[in-house]
Amino acid sequence: MLRFWPEPEVTLSGVRVSRNVDGVQETLIEVPEFSAGFSLLSALRGTPDFNGFRLERPRIRIERKPDGRLDWSNEGLLSEAVRVALSQAPASSTASEALNADIGSVAIVDGEITLVDQTSGTAVVASDLDASVDWRTLSAPLSGEATFNLNGRPVELSLQTPTPLLLIGGAESEIELAGTVPGFSGTLKGLASLGDGVSSGAVDLRVADMALATASLGLRVAGTERWQTASLKAQLTNADQELRFEDLVLTINDIQGDGILTLSRQAQSKPLLSGTLALDHLELSDLLQGLSIEVGDRANVRLPSVTRWVDIDMRLSAATAAFSGFPIADLGASLVGRGDSLKLVIGDTRFLGGTLSARLTGAGEGFHKGAEFAVAMDRVDLGALMSGLAINGPTLKGTGSVRLAASLVGTGWQRNIEAMSGTLEITADSGEIVGFDASGLRQLSTDRAYFQLSAAGRKSFEYETLDTAVRFSDGTAEVTKGQITGERETLTLTGIVPYSRQALALSGKLAPNSGESATPPLRFFIGGAWSDPVISPIPPVPTPGQ
């Protein structure tokens, strides 16, 4: 159809562009309705100059070759212009004609583009495509905007490049790329090619709504459940199989960090993510959850860990940190994950008035192949530690040291507590056992066969030294050492603690420190729930002649 009012325009129906591949016709473009404007003067001269193209419901197929070039026909002005641009040779008259061919504007309405990667064989389909492209001539800069659906998710893209022919030909070109999906937006300004991706440039990624963004991208990663917003800015360089994120600034919710990261390709293995990050604050439980280590059994369905896609060799630091409600300061840690094994080491970190160091190693997704961990606390506030652990019943106060070493078989650290085994040691120089009234216990023991510990009184047992050790497995701990020495008498404990049932089965002894004391030793059983155990005094063994 040809019309001249209000502007000269030609419209074609059923346009099809194909090529011959080994004797088989392969369709590249199908356009139910194709229209273009033209200059009336040029038409009168017999050489109409077409521009202002409009494609209604086109179906376009593009193949990306292993070298990054877009595999369209080797014939026509576009292919000729691409060859000239790539060769950088002086333009002949034929080449000049190709480079100066008018394009003008291109509009696509309700289209579909299928991009096939010849290397991997994967195909990406952009449907419901509406786009507008401003491209004066083939050798001129290009700018365009598009909206489409990708796997049912709405996407907005804009692209600007001064050298579109180089980009189409798979060579490096300057680009300004911006993209948006619901909840997420990003920009990239730098050098890139269709073959090798980004060579260098500035990247700015922003997540305004994490829940909406993860739904739009179809990607959820463990450890991000509490994220609301996030952003990342960095300078990218890509060389020697490495993608480097330099001058990196990372923000999660209101927490900021900076550093440098490198993503390296590895033969016969996952890519390696390495580098350093310094954060204002770090939630250790989120970090462990991000590695699919379910310390709190937070998720009923385990989300994929970042280690599913990359190996890790990271150095982390944080001015402040937290773990299960405990505050931590000046944290320094290293995280190494290779294959299905993982190792997290925390150096001397300020914790509850003292220092903390820890080591966690394991294998398998969520450590389902087993894990080992060791924690050392020195000169910490035992009262604050017990309060944070929310232990019901008698607790410790004072400044002391804690050593914990344990192994775990199976996932779910709280749910699978009976599968843990190891040792625990607590030592202290001075303090008190809150909720253990020694004088009241002695008084009630004179005329009662049993009583609850709380009935003995509210006083505490002050100690000068505390030295305890237990070994545990199968949900039960055995007290191998339990000596708490006060100013006048010493409390000794032995027995077992079925901790998976929060119960006690101990024998105790209160004995004067001096053999010259007139106060006899008191022996007793401690049983029942540890929140308020039952005391059963053991009558003294009669001496001969009594």
d(CA 162, CA 439): 89
* CA-to-CA separations, 107 to 5, 72, 125, in angstroms, rounded: 20, 20, 19
Q: How far apart are CA 348 and CA 338, in angstroms?
A: 24
Q: How high is the pLDDT of residue 299?
A: 46
Which pLDDT belongs to residue 170?
82
Give pLDDT, residue 266: 83
pLDDT of residue 239: 84
pLDDT, residue 472, reads 93
Query: CA 409 to CA 369: how far, in whole Å?
Result: 7
pLDDT, residue 538, reads 92
Q: Are 465 and 429 in contact (CB under 8 A)?
A: yes
User: What was the pLDDT predicted at 415?
Assistant: 59
Rg (CA), the chain: 36
Q: How far apart are CA 268 and CA 263, in angstroms?
A: 15
| CA geometry: angle 54, 51, 190, nearest 5 deg | 85
478: amino acid identity, one letter: E
Q: Where are the domains of the chain?
A: 1-155, 431-538
- What ranges make up the beta strands (E) of 22-152? 24-38, 50-56, 59-64, 102-117, 123-137, 142-150
Nearest Cα residue to 413 out of 311, 281, 306, 323: 323
Predicted structure pTM score: 0.78
What are φ and ψ of residue 133, in 5° steps? -125, 135
Pairing state of beta strands 24-38 and 59-64?
Answer: antiparallel
> For residues 455 and 470, is the Cβ–Cβ distance under 8 A?
no
Name which of 231, 363, 223, 351 is nearest 296 in CA terms: 223
Provide the residue type at 159 as one letter: L
Any idea which residue has 């593009």 for tokens? 62
pLDDT, tens digit (0-9, with 9 covering 90-100), for 344-360: 999 989 999 999 999 99
pLDDT at 247: 95
Q: Which portions of the chain are predicted below pLDDT 70?
A: 1-10, 37-51, 67-77, 88-98, 222, 292-304, 365-366, 410-416, 515-517, 541-546
* Number of other residues whose CB lies within 10 A of the CB of residue 98: 23
